[in-house]
Structure 1
Amino acid sequence: MASSGTIVCMIYAFGITVGVANSFLEMDCDKINVGQFGQQSLLKCVIKRHDVKVRLVIWRKMDQEEKPLLVFQETIKKQVDGFGFAYPSWSPNNMDVSLLIDNTKVEDEGEYECSVVTDGGDRKMTTHLKVKAKYNQPTIKETKDTQVLNAKGTLICESFGGYPEGKLRWFDKHNKDWTKSSNTTITKMESGLFKISSQLPLFALSTFDMYSCKVYDSNGNEEDKVIYEPTESSSPGANQGEKNTKQTTYIAPVVVIGSLIVGLLLALLLYRRRNQSQHEHVETQDPDVETGDPEEDVQYSQP
């Protein structure tokens, strides 16, 4: 394998040739390439002529000029782990000199340069890699701890694993944006990905029974969301109407049933009194029982 110093000399030497013969070789490289974190990324570069043979290919990252990632001269002279030709069995007759990154990381983002020398001309072009990572679905937890005056509690929304830097936004059940009332912190993790945390204070008279927390990428596109319903203790103002409704719901049937019971008791009482009155009237009119006339004493004489 060639040393870094030798490779730098090769780049310089062929750079002179590239400067002279730049117009003789047509090559096409994508200006922008988007790679997903943890997946393979392709930096596309293709020589447009098919009647030439490749003599030299050098891929390097612009912020690491003295450390080429891939060097080919008759054979592969240097290859950094995780970087290589897009075609494993690449040969000098293959006009596709694209660079493949196996496991894309945040630090792989940036400007790359591809230098090519053929027996029919030379060319040097640059291409840019943008790294992206989708944020995880947000999570919400509720806590009584709060640093905000008069607040009854706090909702904490968190999402991590995204790149580039995104944002969290709060909405109530009417889709009104409450993000300005929240406090957001963004932390860069060891992997280079971001963790976003947002705290929304809850107040007694302005708390809704449902909130949603949405995570957006760096371009403002919604990636995921979570819905949360605060506990009743943290939103007494919003739930007062619901509590009154529940009380009314319970009291109404009790009043109706009580009225029916009272009505039945009154009807039963009137019925018994009426029967008792009729019974006393009948007993008063019975002569044989109360005031019956005495039987006449009949005497019989003997002849």
Structure 2
Amino acid sequence: MASVVGTCVLLLAIVPVSAASFVKVDCTSENLGQYGQDSVLRCGINPTEEASDAMITYVKWKKTGENKTLVVFGKDHPNEPRFRFSVESLTGTSRDVSLLVSNTQINDGGEYECTVKTDSGSKDTIKTNLSVTAKYSAPVIIAEKDTDTSLICNSEDGYPKGTIQWFDQEGKKHTSISQQEEPKPMDDKRFNVLTSKLTLKNSASSQYTCQVYNANGVKEGETTFNLSPKSYEGVHKMVQYGKVAASNIVAPVVVIGSLIVGLLIVLLWRKRQSGGHTPIDQDEEKANWQGGEAAAGGKTCEHSEETNTLEEERCQAMILLSAAPTN
């Protein structure tokens, strides 16, 4: 019995450590790629001390969930276009097995698997992720057609979906009152147009800035729009008084009121002086009528010797009132 136990112990002593422990693949868990640029998924080999001189015999990269092999080393297999090892000439002694993606597309984003084998019989597979973003174009601001009270900001070709924020010249944020349209993705998943409309009703600023932010909240660009003096004046009046400035209403009312009061005083004074009705001098009366016609823009009342002077004066007063400016 003792000899059997001794034999078992000896066999356990000479059994090699699990092959997988001889090599370990370390990859950056998250890799960032830019649309249209080269992207690298970083991976390297770390052999154990027992296998420090291990030679790489096989490396394969594939996208998780897809059977298609992207690149392979140690086997006659064509690489997929735009994919290759970042090391120009991978050899058995190489320790960098990173994957390079040329002209990165939005669809290239996702999880990848790297499998490595060595001549020690060890094998290891690890997964890593690639996130692809596309930078938005510099925003463009235009005034809405036929109005100076709305501004529209556009930014194009970004990914993932970003946001637009508005600020006035004092740095006050106006995003909460703006309207952002839902962007539509193109065939390559980038968003065609990111649009936001700002209605100028809560600020009297003459300058507005549109800023575009990516999905991570990082500002990618901004554009400033200066309202014309005429536009700014119109917006300023709307903010202060609604659609019509108070001075445009008060001034005509004061003028018309003054004319009415003055004419009434003149009529009462003449009536008191004459004790009722006394015709005025013909030359003076003609001059008054000519002056009234000029002030009334050519409008006249019927005039004859039989016409009551008080009635004529009242008629003339009404013509003057109708000719008074209304705004």
| TM-score normalized with structure 1 length | 0.65
Which structure 2 residues correspond to residues 1-303 of structure 1 after superposition, within 5 A? 21-49=19-47, 50-64=52-66, 66-73=67-74, 75-120=75-120, 121-144=122-145, 153-185=149-181, 186-194=183-191, 195-203=193-201, 206-235=203-232, 236-238=234-236
Equivalent residues of 1:22, 1:124 under 8 A apart: no
Which structure features the higher share of strand residues?
1
What amino acid does structure 1 have at the position aligned with 2:131?
Answer: K
Q: Secondary structure at the match of 2:136?
A: coil
Equivalent residues of 1:232, 1:239 under 8 A apart: no
Alignment deviations for residues 264-303 of structure 1 (CA, whole Å, 9 cap, x no partner) = xxxxxxxxxxxxxxxxxxxxxxxxxxxxxxxxxxxxxxxx
Q: Distance in 2 between matches of 1:25 and 1:181?
A: 58
Aligned length: 215
Q: Distance in 1 between matches of 2:65 and 2:152?
A: 39
Equivalent residues of 1:202, 1:234 under 8 A apart: no
Equivalent residues of 1:145, 1:153 under 8 A apart: no
Q: Secondary structure at the match of 2:215?
A: coil
Give unmatched runs, 5+ long, in structure 2: 1-17, 246-327
Displacement of 1:207 in angstroms is 4.3
Q: Distance in 2 between matches of 1:114 and 1:145?
A: 59
Displacement of 1:178 in angstroms is 1.1
Q: Distance in 2 between matches of 1:170 and 1:237?
A: 17
Is the alpha carbon distance of 1:105 and 1:143 closer, same or farther for their aligned partners in structure 2, counting shifts above 3 Å? same
Equivalent residues of 2:55, 2:119 under 8 A apart: yes
Q: Secondary structure at the match of 1:168?
A: strand
Q: Distance in 1 between matches of 2:45 and 2:89?
A: 17
Equivalent residues of 2:38, 2:100 under 8 A apart: yes
Displacement of 1:163 in angstroms is 2.0
Mean Cα displacement is larger for which, 174-183 or 224-233? 224-233
Higher gyration radius (CA): 1
Q: Distance in 1 between matches of 2:136 and 2:203?
A: 30
Displacement of 1:44 in angstroms is 1.1
Displacement of 1:206 in angstroms is 4.1
Is the alpha carbon distance of 1:32 and 1:76 closer, same or farther for their aligned partners in structure 2, counting shifts above 3 Å? farther
What is the RMSD of the two structures over their aligned residues, measured on CA atoms? 2.4
What amino acid does structure 1 have at the position aligned with 2:163?
Answer: K
Is the alpha carbon distance of 1:76 and 1:86 closer, same or farther for their aligned partners in structure 2, counting shifts above 3 Å? farther
Displacement of 1:115 in angstroms is 0.7
Is the alpha carbon distance of 1:52 and 1:145 closer, same or farther for their aligned partners in structure 2, counting shifts above 3 Å? farther
Is the alpha carbon distance of 1:67 and 1:123 closer, same or farther for their aligned partners in structure 2, counting shifts above 3 Å? same
Q: Secondary structure at the match of 2:77?
A: strand
Is the alpha carbon distance of 1:178 and 1:133 closer, same or farther for their aligned partners in structure 2, counting shifts above 3 Å? same
